[in-house]
Amino acid sequence: MKGGSVGGGIAPAKRRWRGLAIAVLFLVVLSMLVPLGFLLGVHNGFHTAGHLALQHPSPSGDRSRHIDNLVRKLGPTLPKDILRGYVNEAKNETSSRNATPKIQQQKGIPIPPQVVMQPVTNKNTSNVNGKARTKAGADESGGLCELKYGSYCIWREENREAMQDSMVKKLKDQLFVARAYFPSVAKMPTQNKLSGELKQNIQEFERVLSESTTDVDLPREIQKKSQRMEAVIAKAKSVTLDCHNVDKKLRQIFDLTEDEANFHMKQSAFLYQLAVQTMPKSLHCLSMRLTVEYFRDHSFDKELSEKYSDTTLQHYVIFSNNVIASSVAINSTVMHAKDSSIQVFHVLTDGQNYYAMKLWFLRNTFKDAVVQVLNIEDLNAGYYDKATLSHVTLPVEFRVSFHSNDNAPAIHNHVSIFSHSHYLLPKIFKNLEKVVVLDDDVVVQKDLSALWSLNMGGKVIGAVEICSVRMDQLRSYLGEHSFKKNSCSWMSGLNVIDLARWRDLHISKTYWKLVKKVSMKEGSALLASLLTFQDQIYTLDSRWVVSGLGHDYGLDIEGIKKAAVLHYNGNMKPWLELGIPKYKAYWKKFLNHNDQYLSECNVNR
């Protein structure tokens, strides 16, 4: 038989490796012949072959691994059905079929077919398990994130689904770290080998990452590469003492990769950190630069404009501590106004941003409109009982979550609503009868003058309702206070306010009372505002405002284009790196990109 003659050829050669290789090859051929053997009923003939293989020294662990590897390489060429048969039979020690077990005993090596099968079965089960595990994790921790606006916990929850390509991200992280350690290691004469390894791994990672941006594209053996990298990094960590250097390098890399970070965008917690930490930095820079400039150059101070309190004009109020946000809100309003000369803007800001704001609006002109900047901290003295509140705050958004029924997942929404400071409006603008309040995260796309001729039928404020959030769904927030169950909630963003009516009805007084009552609870402003205005809302046509551009990826683009006002309520503000890319352009076009300060501070490159 063929098998016999091959075996005879090996014995005299006595070269182990060669013998082994041939033996293995032989075994493979053999394993293909086995089923054939069964079919033809000639399996007795295989005994000889088994004996020949046994003549070689007993296999050490090393060698059997070597063989495993060889078999693994050859494995895939074998028909799967045959392999499956082997696995089952290998498990069954009591199998009545005698041929295969015998061969295995005689060979004295681990059962190769099982090794071949493993990757296939493992992959499937581990995938399933993996999915099940992450699902369970989300459910378990779901209860832990309490509603807190801007909570990282909630953000992570929401974006967990989208956390794909974790391997790519892991590789990137490893690459960062490896690059950080490399210079320090390379400087050590005693660590030539390590630095070589490090370099090689870095290059390899760079190559892989330049070719793959998703996990699917990654080469199959990447897990191993990653492990190797991990080991090398661990070694590097153990030999480098100079933390300062590494730290410096890490910072550099962090800066370099900022651009690259678009890649992570929504998916990555890494970017969330990046955006939170770096973007406000450039806004901070802007604010600082403007403040310094303001005090350097006093020549800007203009006379008080008579327009500020002219009741025949259209007065817009914006609460903001963000220079570019309020600038965009104003610029976009002015740009679409039929007549900008009758527009007056009042920007209410805090002491920290007051001078920056002032300088900004002195430097920039917005057609024929005038802009007044007010420091709310100067104004509020004496306006309310100081004991009630420690300080007046700028508006905040509230994130509400509720369950529409017991089994459905929680619905989240970002409800922006009046803050304490809004209740100072009737006093700040003593002689005005009507104002339009804009949030600083809006962009105006149409002429708003129709708002000024609106007949609100005696209601105090005009607002867009959000019926996806109803009062009774906010039951847990509202407590035992009486409210109309099915009335919709409303949003700030674009509000028309009848200040005369407000004063008549003592709205502010009602509010402060309610705040006192509920001040123990989180979101007291939300509660008190909703309750205060329960019967005082004039519902604006929903075409006025499209909201959710700061959290909802699924908004209708046509609707956005047609809306009079876009509201970026949510965490993903358009001025943040984190902002939703497809909505950013509507906001960005109202910035002056040639502005010296903006480019110096890297705002919206």
Ligand X SMILES: *[C@@H]1O[C@H](CO)[C@@H](O)[C@H](O)[C@H]1NC(C)=O
| Residue 390 tokens, joined | 């420690």
**Binding of ligand X at residue 116 (CB under 6 A)?**
no
Min. distance of Cβ 358 from ligand X in angstroms?
15
**Binding of ligand X at residue 132 (CB under 6 A)?**
no
Cβ-based nearer residue to ligand X, 88 or 404: 88
The CB-nearest residue to ligand X is 592
Cβ-based nearer residue to ligand X, 90 or 580: 90
Question: Which member of 268, 320, 327, 343 binds ligand X (CB under 6 A)?
Answer: 327
Kindly indicate which of the ranges 57-65, 91-99, 474-482, 576-584 contains the residues binding ligand X, using the contact rule CB under 6 A.
Answer: 91-99
Contacts of 598 (CB under 8 A, 6+ apart): 286, 324, 591, 592, 604
Kindly indicate which of the ranges 102-110, 528-536, 562-570, 590-598 contains the residues binding ligand X, using the contact rule CB under 6 A.
Answer: 590-598
Cβ-based nearer residue to ligand X, 124 or 164: 124
Min. distance of Cβ 356 from ligand X in angstroms?
15
**Binding of ligand X at residue 364 (CB under 6 A)?**
yes
Cβ-based nearer residue to ligand X, 331 or 569: 331
Considering only residues 392 through 421, tell me which ones interact with ligand X, judged by CB under 6 A: none
Q: How many residues bind ligand X (CB under 6 A)?
A: 15
Of 64, 134, 50, the C-alpha closest to 99 is 50
Q: Which residues pair with 462 in a beta bridge?
A: 496, 538
Token pair 């017991």 is found at 406
Instruction: Count the neighbouring beta carbons within 10 Å of the beta carbon of residue 258.
Output: 16
Question: Which member of 104, 174, 191, 331 binds ligand X (CB under 6 A)?
Answer: 331
**Binding of ligand X at residue 94 (CB under 6 A)?**
yes
Cβ-based nearer residue to ligand X, 336 or 412: 336
| Residue 331 tokens, joined | 């610029």
Q: Which residues pair with 537 in a beta bridge?
A: 461
Cβ-based nearer residue to ligand X, 90 or 271: 90
Of 438, 423, 564, 562, the C-alpha closest to 494 is 438
For 61-73, give the DSSP string: HHHHHHHHHHHHH
Instruction: Count the neighbouring beta carbons within 10 Å of the beta carbon of residue 2.
Output: 10
Kindly indicate which of the ranges 90-98, 199-207, 229-237, 570-578 contains the residues binding ligand X, using the contact rule CB under 6 A.
Answer: 90-98
Kindly indicate which of the ranges 239-247, 257-265, 546-554, 589-597 contains the residues binding ligand X, using the contact rule CB under 6 A.
Answer: 589-597
Question: Which member of 69, 105, 124, 404 binds ligand X (CB under 6 A)?
Answer: 124
Strands (DSSP E) along 388-454, which ranges? Answer: 397-402, 411-416, 434-439, 442-444
**Binding of ligand X at residue 591 (CB under 6 A)?**
yes
Q: What angle do CA 433, 390, 287 make, to 5 degrees?
A: 75
For 137-149, give the DSSP string: HHHHHHTT----T
Cβ-based nearer residue to ligand X, 94 or 390: 94
**Binding of ligand X at residue 335 (CB under 6 A)?**
yes
Cβ-based nearer residue to ligand X, 330 or 537: 330
For 449-487, give the DSSP string: GGGGG---TT-SEEEEEEEEEEGGGGHHHHTT----TTP
Q: Pairing relation of β-strands 397-402 and 411-416?
A: antiparallel
Min. distance of Cβ 129 from ligand X in angstroms?
12
Min. distance of Cβ 94 from ligand X in angstroms?
5
Cα–Cα distances in angstroms (integers) from residue 296 to residues 289, 349, 363, 408, 470, in the given order: 11, 21, 14, 58, 51
The pairs formed by 483-486 with CB atoms below 8 angstroms and a separation of 24 or more are: 483/530, 483/531, 483/534, 484/534
The pairs formed by 29-36 with CB atoms below 8 angstroms and a separation of 24 or more are: 29/3, 30/3, 30/103, 31/78, 31/82, 31/86, 31/112, 31/113, 32/78, 32/82, 33/3, 34/82, 34/99, 34/100, 34/103, 35/82, 35/85
Min. distance of Cβ 569 from ligand X in angstroms?
22
**Binding of ligand X at residue 453 (CB under 6 A)?**
no
Kindly indicate which of the ranges 168-176, 455-463, 489-497, 587-595 contains the residues binding ligand X, using the contact rule CB under 6 A.
Answer: 587-595
Given a contact cutoff of 8 angstroms between Cβ atoms, the answer to whether 548 and 569 are in contact is yes
**Binding of ligand X at residue 277 (CB under 6 A)?**
no
Contacts of 351 (CB under 8 A, 6+ apart): 375, 377, 378
For ligand X, what does the binding mask look like between residues 202 and 221, x meaning CB under 6 A?
--------------------
**Binding of ligand X at residue 226 (CB under 6 A)?**
no
Cα–Cα distances in angstroms (integers) from residue 261 to residues 153, 258, 578, in the given order: 21, 5, 10
Cβ-based nearer residue to ligand X, 352 or 592: 592
Cβ-based nearer residue to ligand X, 226 or 445: 445
Q: Which residues pair with 374 in a beta bridge?
A: 348
**Binding of ligand X at residue 590 (CB under 6 A)?**
yes
**Binding of ligand X at residue 341 (CB under 6 A)?**
no
**Binding of ligand X at residue 88 (CB under 6 A)?**
yes
Contacts of 47 (CB under 8 A, 6+ apart): 102, 106
For ligand X, what does the binding mask look like between residues 34 and 73, x meaning CB under 6 A?
----------------------------------------
**Binding of ligand X at residue 299 (CB under 6 A)?**
no
Cβ-based nearer residue to ligand X, 95 or 141: 95
What does the binding site for ligand X look like in residue numbers (CB under 6 A)? 88-89, 92, 94-95, 120, 124, 327, 331, 335, 364, 589-592
